[in-house]
């Protein structure tokens, strides 16, 4: 069995996205030698890292914030390699972006300290990219699945609420202060025995993305009145998702942590399950409580066609019913017997937004 087939089997196996990436790195290491690696998941729209996985023995822990900031600042691979060579003695970097038409799901970088990668090794990693991309996207889709204990899908109660919080960073990405709620949310992002504090995984990356955006705006003399602020969506486990955003606050970087809004969560749900533009439209109407007849009327299609779209939607998302679909898309647990309460109106339909650029590491 070749490497592509082995990687495909790993991606199909049950387990967390972290364990999947660990197994994939192990498989790749049998065919391509490397001294360090970064295998990161990113938000498919913003491109900001949402879940890092790296082994970089040549990088001291205290230099990680600087490394992350440089990763966002260097869009050119040659500049990135030149900086790594000067700072850590890295001789060559072999990297592949992991993206498809639904978004930018992550990237993989392999580092060497002694010799360069061969053309055969580069072709090997390039051939793996589609499998790794599908694996990351499927891992995100699996995060929306949750246990159902109630036979009656009737009342929505939101599960695992994440309280909003704020972290203040300096321009060196060092933590100045944080609210208790932000610290509590971030403690759930990485195991407590990880070498790097959990705050680094999200705050460092959105903070570094903000610094890079400020640098690009400054060098291009662009209008600073309405900048696009860096953000990323992060899985907390048990189907819960949060959004982290970075903004400038005087001489500090403010990173806000809050539960994903309904439209943010549904967008990620649709992308990760590979929904077509029409299926995105149907999903938005289902979440508004539309029945098949109403969906057909709203989209000016036959009722049988609407029902075909619904069946495809249920099949792609692994949902047993419309109620189960709403549970997964909106992040709710269903109990009781007193009717639906959908939290907010979700807009959707048409083409999915084009993914943004930018990647960092942790």
The whole-number average pLDDT for the span 73-93 is 94
Going by their DSSP bridges, the two strands 165-169 and 252-259 should be labelled as antiparallel
- Give the pLDDT confidence of 9-52 residue by residue, as tens digits: 999 998 889 999 999 999 999 999 999 999 999 999 999 999 98
Residues 6+ apart with CB under 8 A from 86: none
Q: Residue 334: which of 156, 96, 94 has the closest Cα?
A: 156
Q: Residue 310: which of 332, 288, 325, 327 has the closest Cα?
A: 325
pLDDT of residue 200: 56
Tokens for 301, please give them. Answer: 């299609």
pLDDT band at 84 (very low <50, low <70, confident <90, very high): very high
- CA angle 89-91-93, nearest 5°? 115
pLDDT of residue 163: 73
Residues 6+ apart with CB under 8 A from 203: 167, 169, 173, 175, 186, 244, 246, 255
Q: Which of 55-64, 116-125, 153-162, 270-279 has the lowest mean pLDDT?
A: 153-162
In the chain, which residue ranges form alpha helices assigned H by DSSP? 3-12, 17-29, 64-73, 77-88, 119-142, 180-186, 199, 205-220, 262-272, 277-287, 292-299, 303-317, 322-330
Q: For residues 165 and 162, give the distance between their C-alpha atoms in angstroms, rounded to a whole number.
A: 9
Q: For residues 355 and 201, give the distance between their C-alpha atoms in angstroms, rounded to a whole number.
A: 21
Residues 6+ apart with CB under 8 A from 320: 314
Percentage of the chain lying above the pLDDT 90 cut: 63
Type and span of the H or E element at 335: strand 332-335
pLDDT of residue 182: 73
pLDDT of residue 189: 56
The whole-number average pLDDT for the span 182-202 is 57
> What are the b/e assignments for 159-198, b being 16+ CB within 10 Å?
ebebeebbbbbeeebebeebbeebbebbebbbeeeeeebb
Percentage of the chain lying above the pLDDT 70 cut: 79
159 has pLDDT over 80: no
Tokens for 211, please give them. Answer: 């610094």
**pTM recorded for the entire structure:** 0.84
pLDDT of residue 339: 33
pLDDT of residue 331: 82
pLDDT band at 134 (very low <50, low <70, confident <90, very high): very high
């Amino acid at each position: 069995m070749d490497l592509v087939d082995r990687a495909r089997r790993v991606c199909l196996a049950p387990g967390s996205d972290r364990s999947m990436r660990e197994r994939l790195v192990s498989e790749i290491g049998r065919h391509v030698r490397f001294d360090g690696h970064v295998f990161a998941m990113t938000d498919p729209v913003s491109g900001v890292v949402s879940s890092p996985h790296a082994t970089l023995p040549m990088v001291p822990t205290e230099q990680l914030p600087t490394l992350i900031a440089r990763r966002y600042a260097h869009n050119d691979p040659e500049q990135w390699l030149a900086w790594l060579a000067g700072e850590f003695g890295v001789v060559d970097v072999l990297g592949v972006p992991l993206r498809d038409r639904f978004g930018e799901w992550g990237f993989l970088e392999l580092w060497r300290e002694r010799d360069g990668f061969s053309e055969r090794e580069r072709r090997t990693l390039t051939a793996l990219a589609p499998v790794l991309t599908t694996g990351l996207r499927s891992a995100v889709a699996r995060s929306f699945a949750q246990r159902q204990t109630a036979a009656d899908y009737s009342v929505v109660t939101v599960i695992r609420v994440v309280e909003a919080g704020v972290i203040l960073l300096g321009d060196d990405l060092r933590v100045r202060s944080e609210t208790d709620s932000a610290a509590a949310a971030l403690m759930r992002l990485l195991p407590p025995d990880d070498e790097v504090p959990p705050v680094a995984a999200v705050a460092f990356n959105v903070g570094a993305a903000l610094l890079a955006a400020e640098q690009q705006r400054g060098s291009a003399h662009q209008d600073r009145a309405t900048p696009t602020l860096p953000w990323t969506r992060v899985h907390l486990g048990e189907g819960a998702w949060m959004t982290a955003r970075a903004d400038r606050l005087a001489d500090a970087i403010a990173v806000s942590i809050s539960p994903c809004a309904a439209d943010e969560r549904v967008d990620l749900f649709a992308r990760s399950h590979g929904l077509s533009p029409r299926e995105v439209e149907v999903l938005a109407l289902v979440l508004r409580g539309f029945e098949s007849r109403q969906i057909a009327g709203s989209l000016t299609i036959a009722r049988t066609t609407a029902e075909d779209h619904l069946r495809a939607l249920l099949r792609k998302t692994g949902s047993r019913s419309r109620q189960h679909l709403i549970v997964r898309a909106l992040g709710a647990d269903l109990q009781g017997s007193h009717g639906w309460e959908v939290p907010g109106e979700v807009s959707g339909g048409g083409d999915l937004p084009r993914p943004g650029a930018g990647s960092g590491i942790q």
